[in-house]
Amino acid sequence: MVGRFGAALAILLGGCSLVTDSFLTNDFSGDPYPIQAELQSGAVVLGLRQAGVPDRTTVLDLLSPITLVDPGPGIAPSVSNADLLLLGQNGAGGPIDLPRASLDDVQMLALHPCNEDGCSVGTPAAPRPYDAILGADALAGDAIRLRLGDEQVFVLADIGGDEAHRTRACDGVFPSPYRGGGTLLIAGTELPFMGRRVALQTCLGANPDPVLPQSRRGSDALLVLSTSIGITILGESAYLRYLEAQPTAPALESLPMDTAYLPSGPIEGRLGSIANLALVASSSSSPRAPCRQVYGSHLMIARDCVAEDDCPCEDRSTFCGVPAIVELEPPGGHAVLIVPDSNPTLQALRTELRPDQAEVDGILGTNALLSSEIDVDYPHNRLLARCTADGCRTRPSVTEARERTQAQNCLGPSPVGPIF
């Protein structure tokens, strides 16, 4: 991120790592009932209560590896631990003062995270001030359910069922999506953090039409999930690749300038749109580029390859496995803020995730997820996705031909909510 917090994030020691150990680093914090959040700004806004201090307006940001409280400008950074209560709205639109989860012995970095006197998320026209960021570290023993279309989040113990069970329940299962990790050096103290950034392979403008060449079936990108911003952020190179696949889209230089607020401060770019996004699970057994996976999913769930097909399978096979995919296509497309590739936020993320991941192309905002329900299941090192509204389609993974009928059944009316 930019500003003081961005400078801290740039001090990464120890490189990046793929997390293979358990995420169970603290006890279960919540309960199975929803927490009403405020989302008018696009950020997931909750509250934190700490003994002896006023309640803090808090941005839940699963992109942030640490929990941060803002002491105000000009105050030297410090590190402390405290027991916290997570607060939700007391009814939709009500005050954020209802205790909903207990977070024990949370490590907090006291640091003013932006260059302005007061920090906000949202937009210049509708800024939302905040004074704390709840990061992924405080929730590492929990599963976080994002039901953003209803402005709700859940803090759950975990999500039941293994990968096969969740797939049969029509979930999109994204195994091992968490990346990054390193050490921050703050006020002379080393703060190690694990790789909990949600990295998602994405196809921009996915079009699996078999008549098209693969180069016109969408453009590949790598996005990281943030719950602190509504609009999705794309680097300019990613948008230019999208233009190659979608030549009728507006040219970059013709788009108007706009500004959004990350927790670290304003970010400027050009306001554009992407027709659709397809989030693609990783697959070690059938590795392909994201847009190739989308095409393969549409073909393999329907039938085997025939001679005239652009078959995605290797070794002349007529069937091959395909990973889970979530297709997000709202009627008006996805608004995106297109920023220079040299943007400090993107550069810091690229530095952290190299060489384990391809170059980060952008940040997936909450607006893109309003028609879906996402389970960030830290205890099981996976992400689960299902659709809750029109404009979303979950395509389960298919690893064997006999699973095809089950996947076809899932592509009917999507079940609302999880099936345990």
Domain boundaries, the chain: 23-160, 167-410
* Nearest-angstrom CA–CA distance, 128 and 120: 5
The predicted model scores a pTM of 0.91
Q: What is the mean pLDDT of each run of 10 residues along the chain (420 residues)?
A: 42 32 54 93 98 97 95 93 96 94 94 94 96 95 96 95 96 95 78 89 97 97 98 98 96 98 96 98 90 98 95 94 97 97 94 85 98 97 97 96 95 50
| The predicted structure's pLDDT at residue 285 | 80
Cβ-proximal residues to 116 (8 Å cutoff; 6+ apart), any chain: 265
| The predicted structure's pLDDT at residue 412 | 75
| The predicted structure's pLDDT at residue 27 | 60
The dihedrals phi and psi of 27, each to the nearest 5 degrees, come to -80, 165
Q: Fold identical between 23-160 and 167-410?
A: yes
Radius of gyration from C-alpha coordinates of the chain: 21
155 in Cβ contact with 142 (< 8 Å): yes
* Nearest-angstrom CA–CA distance, 38 and 45: 5
In three-state secondary structure terms, 410 is helix
* Nearest-angstrom CA–CA distance, 74 and 377: 37
Pair of tokens at residue 314? 């290797």
* Nearest-angstrom CA–CA distance, 333 and 315: 37
Greatest pairwise CA separation for the chain in angstroms: 72
**Which residue(s) pair with 133 in the sheet?**
59, 68
| The architecture CATH gives domain 167-410 | Beta Barrel (2.40)
| The predicted structure's pLDDT at residue 357 | 79
* Domain 23-160 class in CATH: mainly beta
| The predicted structure's pLDDT at residue 414 | 45
Q: How far is CA 285 from CA 249, 321, 323, 358, in A?
A: 35, 8, 9, 18
Within a 10 A sphere around the Cβ of 321, how many other Cβ atoms? 17
Pairing of β 334-339 and β 232-235: parallel
